[in-house]
């Protein structure tokens, strides 16, 4: 499903580096699987794929049919872990969605919210609002505005069919709003934090409603759960990735750039940045996660990658089989001089650009590795999510932080609430 290649790490990572990190890796594995490491109460994602039942997926399928029947658009309201995985999935699977999805509550842009209201005004709309805490400012405000509009448009009874809440079982304002208004609810498990929640109802509900084959997403995740279960560096690519990024960090490579020549991965990279940034950036430690979409960004950031400060390593995500290819035609005049690639697929050329970039960046002092996703489909997406979640848990423990909390995100909120004079 996923192939891992560390060819361009040679010289940067020696056998003795691997030998040195193995004890920490085994300890991380034992702490994670034994639920005895830091933040163990938020490690429910570890066996989540095998815990999500087929009957729940079926239930979502039935709801999806109803929602698709009654709606022109789905509006997904949420931020951070309650937003990125949904968007990442839909963009990666590009075009598979049966119901167009709009997003709200992932910022506080009045222009964007206004535009959304105008777009959905005369359409049949269903809203899924997602917030684990049920108190996050951005989605709460967006929901307030969208709900008011829907209240004016549909009566209270119709609204019960058109608003779906995904939140904590008991806590939070969203649970209270849902109960008071009789909105349908789905529960986010207590033991799974926001950025690890894409395979819970947080991701599964909106994706099912949009028409994604979530059974396949979970099938891929289940395969990953069993494939990456054992602490065997030779056969566990996920642990190898976790080990190698820590070795590189220890050698002064403080920035990891996730690069892909497959633009549909743009939001997967955004999701990955949240996953690793929020999990590892603690106690003044942690690799800075950045991302590039190539070849686009080779024409903007290519110079920096090739020749800028050498504190960076690169992880490519390649896609072996994209959904479509486009053949380059021959041109009798050949004025642009590209007849030498006539008859080739654009994807073939894209892959040559990747091979060339990996080699050039390596020669320029950027060690790099490649994670290849064999196919751009739902099964592989589920697999990739689990791969990164597990790698992140292991990597965070090896680094010595609690990968499952996020105390640092409170600092600006306190100041913001003081400025807003919240009582």
Catalytic residue numbers, as ranges: 278, 299, 413
Q: Which is nearer to ligand PA5, 139 or 211 (CB)?
A: 139
Supply the minimum distance, in Å, between the C-beta of residue 77 and ligand PA5: 10
Supply the minimum distance, in Å, between the C-beta of residue 132 and ligand PA5: 4
Strand duo 312-321 + 368-375: pairing: parallel
Q: Choose the stretch contacting ligand PA5; rule: CB under 6 A; options: 51-59, 129-137, 308-316, 373-381.
A: 129-137
Under rule CB under 6 A, residue 39 binds ligand PA5: no
- Choose which of 43, 76, 82, 236 interacts with ligand PA5 (CB under 6 A): 82
Residue 105's contacts (CB-CB under 8 Å, 6 or more residues apart) are 77, 78, 79, 83, 129, 136, 138, 139, 140, 141, 142, 143
Q: Choose the stretch contacting ligand PA5; rule: CB under 6 A; options: 29-37, 50-58, 148-156, 188-196.
A: 188-196
Q: Between residue 95 and residue 124, which ones bind ligand PA5 under the rule CB under 6 A?
A: none
Q: Choose the stretch contacting ligand PA5; rule: CB under 6 A; options: 26-34, 74-82, 297-305, 366-374.
A: 74-82
Supply the minimum distance, in Å, between the C-beta of residue 159 and ligand PA5: 21
Residue 282's contacts (CB-CB under 8 Å, 6 or more residues apart) are 401, 402, 407, 408
* C-beta neighbour count of 57 within 10 angstroms: 18
Under rule CB under 6 A, residue 245 binds ligand PA5: no
Supply the minimum distance, in Å, between the C-beta of residue 2 and ligand PA5: 24
Under rule CB under 6 A, residue 79 binds ligand PA5: yes
Supply the minimum distance, in Å, between the C-beta of residue 196 and ligand PA5: 8
Interface pattern 277-296 for ligand PA5 (x via CB under 6 A): -x------------------
Supply the minimum distance, in Å, between the C-beta of residue 92 and ligand PA5: 19
Supply the minimum distance, in Å, between the C-beta of residue 87 and ligand PA5: 13
Q: Is-contact 366 346, C-beta < 8 A?
A: no
Cα separation, 17 vs 15, in Å, equals 5
Q: Which is nearer to ligand PA5, 131 or 370 (CB)?
A: 131
Q: Between residue 197 and residue 236, which ones bind ligand PA5 under the rule CB under 6 A?
A: none
Tell me the residue nearest to ligand PA5 as measured from the CB: 194
* Per rule CB under 6 A, count of chain residues that contact ligand PA5: 14
Under rule CB under 6 A, residue 406 binds ligand PA5: yes
Between the CA of residue 387 and those of 81, 180, 196, 315, what are the distances in Å? 17, 39, 11, 14
Under rule CB under 6 A, residue 137 binds ligand PA5: no
Under rule CB under 6 A, residue 44 binds ligand PA5: no
- Choose which of 44, 49, 80, 393 interacts with ligand PA5 (CB under 6 A): 80
Under rule CB under 6 A, residue 43 binds ligand PA5: no
Under rule CB under 6 A, residue 189 binds ligand PA5: no
Candidates 116, 113, 130; CA nearest to 184 is 130
Cα separation, 214 vs 199, in Å, equals 9
What b/e string do you get for 124-154 counting C-beta neighbours within 10 Å, with b at 16 or more? ebbbbbbbbbbebebbbebbebbbeebeebb
The residue ranges that bind ligand PA5 (CB under 6 A) are 79-82, 131-133, 136, 139, 193-195, 278, 406
């Amino acid at each position: 499903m996923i192939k891992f290649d560390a060819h361009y790490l040679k010289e940067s990572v020696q056998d003795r580096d691997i030998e040195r990190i193995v004890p920490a890796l085994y300890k991380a594995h034992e702490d994670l699987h034994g639920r005895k490491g830091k933040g163990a109460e938020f490690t429910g994602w570890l066996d989540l794929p095998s815990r999500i039942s087929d009957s729940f997926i079926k239930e979502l399928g039935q709801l999806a049919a109803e929602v698709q029947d009654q709606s022109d658009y789905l509006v997904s309201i949420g931020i951070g872990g309650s937003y990125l995985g949904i968007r990442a999935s839909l963009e990666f699977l590009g075009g598979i969605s049966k119901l167009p999805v709009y997003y709200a509550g992932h910022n506080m842009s009045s222009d964007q919210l206004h535009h959304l209201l105008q777009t959905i005004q005369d359409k049949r709309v269903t809203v899924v609002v997602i917030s684990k805490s049920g108190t996050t400012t951005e989605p709460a405000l967006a929901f307030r505005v969208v709900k008011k509009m829907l209240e004016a448009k549909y009566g209270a009874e119709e609204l019960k069919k058109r608003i779906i809440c995904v939140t904590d079982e008991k806590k939070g304002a969203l649970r209270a709003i849902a109960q008071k208004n009789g909105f349908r609810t789905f529960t986010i498990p207590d033991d799974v934090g926001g950025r690890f929640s894409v395979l819970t109802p947080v991701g599964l509900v909106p994706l099912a409603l949009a028409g994604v084959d979530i059974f396949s997403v979970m099938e891929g995740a289940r395969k990953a759960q069993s494939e990456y279960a054992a602490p065997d560096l030779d056969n566990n690519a996920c642990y190898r990735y976790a080990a190698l990024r820590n070795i590189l960090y220890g050698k002064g490579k403080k920035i990891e750039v996730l690069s892909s020549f497959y633009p549909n991965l743009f939001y997967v990279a955004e999701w990955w940045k949240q996953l690793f940034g929020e999990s590892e950036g603690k106690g003044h430690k942690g690799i800075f996660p950045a991302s590039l979409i190539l070849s686009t960004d080779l024409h903007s950031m290519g110079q920096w990658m090739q020749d800028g400060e050498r504190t960076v390593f690169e992880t490519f995500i390649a896609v072996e089989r994209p959904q479509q290819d486009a053949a380059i035609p021959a041109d009798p005049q050949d004025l642009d001089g590209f007849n030498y690639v006539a008859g080739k697929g654009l994807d073939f050329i894209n892959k040559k650009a990747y091979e060339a970039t990996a080699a050039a960046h390596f020669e320029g002092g950027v060690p790099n590795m490649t994670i290849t996703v064999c196919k751009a489909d739902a099964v592989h997406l589920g697999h990739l999510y689990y791969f990164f979640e597990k790698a992140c848990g292991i990597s965070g423990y090896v680094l010595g932080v609690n990968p499952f909390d996020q105390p640092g995100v409170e600092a600006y909120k306190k100041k913001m609430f003081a400025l807003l004079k919240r009582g």
